[in-house]
Amino acid sequence: MRRTPLAALLLAGVSFTTAGAAPCGVFGVTIPRDGRTLGALERKLGCTFTAVRWFQDWREPFDLPYARALTRERRALEVSWQPRILRGGAYVGVPYRSIAAGEHDAYVRAFARAVRTLGRPVSITFAPEMNGDWGAYQLGQKNTPQDFVRAWRHLHDVFRQERANVRWVWTPNILYPTARASYRALYPGDAYVDEVGLDGYNWGTTNPWNRWLTFEQTFAPSIRAVAALTRKPIQLGEVSSAERGGSKAGWIRDLCRTLPKYPQVKRLFWFHIRDQNVDWRLSTSQAALDAFKSCVRR
């Protein structure tokens, strides 16, 4: 996706924030870095997201201009850092063992120094959904859980050496039957993790092998599993529902009713992105937008 150069936005004095709008409660947003989508969504909702999450691939420098534009508005920042490289029109995963061995340290240190230059804390989710079986950097014969843990700990140590102000957020996918490793096998340890995240979606009937699931059916087993693993605070890093197969607005209302049962969940990032298969954005219907606005007011 082509994005507007943030340097140009900064020079133009562009502000993402809806002036005078109240915060969107416990909700953050995962969003494209295009300089337009965030402000447009907030104007529709009439509230401001105090936390913003975005994606960056391997070899891509930390997006300091974008981060500065957001911190100028006192937003919390989170980077979903994916160890993959686009090559020949397809993504290729960066082996965890090569990261753990220090083969990418020049790039990693430059990334860490850019974060330090920002002068504000940044949360980093390295290799989100590492327990999956659909992405370029996930587990396989040459990418073991042990390799992942060693890579995570190495990155943590390098950022600490560079004095970068980082919170490390370990974010697997929600539990599913064909996962290649348990949460426990992939957990780097409390000394290397500041927060635990979970990514999960209600796919509805967008494909033949899924069915409509409530918010609690989607997340409850995984929340219990990570709560048994660690007492670190929990966030939901990617949350959304499809429209097909039920009521997305009803799903959002159910989320709002159910969330107080899980006080360990401190923040949710709505996944406001349309991918090639499903439109996960809040703006897929006016009913969904209205349900979200009602939830924020509650």
Which pLDDT value is given to residue 289? 98
| The pLDDT value given to residue 141 | 85
CA-wise closest residue to 107 among 58, 154, 156:
58
Catalytic residue among 42, 78, 195, 238: 238
103 is catalytic: no
In a domain, 188, yes or no: yes
Residue 220: give the domain boundaries: 6-297
Question: What pLDDT score was predicted for residue 104?
Answer: 98
For the chain, how many structural domains are there in total?
1
- Partners of 122 in beta bridges: 77, 166
Q: Could you say which residues of the chain have pLDDT below 70?
A: 1-20
Q: Which among 197, 199, 117, 101 has a CA at the least distance from the CA of 155?
A: 101
Task: Check residue 261 and report its DSSP letter.
Answer: G
- Whether 274 is covered by a domain: the verdict is yes
- Kindly state whether residue 1 falls inside one of the protein's structural domains: no
pLDDT, position 3:
44
User: Which has the closest alpha carbon to 221: 270, 267, 176?
Assistant: 176
DSSP secondary structure code for residue 175 in this structure: P
Residue 127 lies in a domain: yes
Question: What per-residue confidence (pLDDT) applies to 20?
Answer: 64
Active-site annotation holder among 42, 78, 129, 243: 129
Domain presence at residue 44: yes
| Per-residue pLDDT at 276 | 80
In a domain, 285, yes or no: yes
Residue 96 maps to a domain: yes
Q: What is the pLDDT of residue 277?
A: 86
CATH number reported for the structural domain that contains residue 138 in this entry = 3.20.20.80
Q: Give the separation between CA 294 and CA 292, rounded to whole angstroms.
A: 5
Helix axes 248-258 and 286-297, enclosed angle (nearest 10): 10
pLDDT of res. 49: 97
Pairing assessment for the beta strands 90-93 and 84-87 based on DSSP bridges = antiparallel
Active site residue 238: yes
User: What pLDDT is stored for residue 16 in this prediction?
Assistant: 59
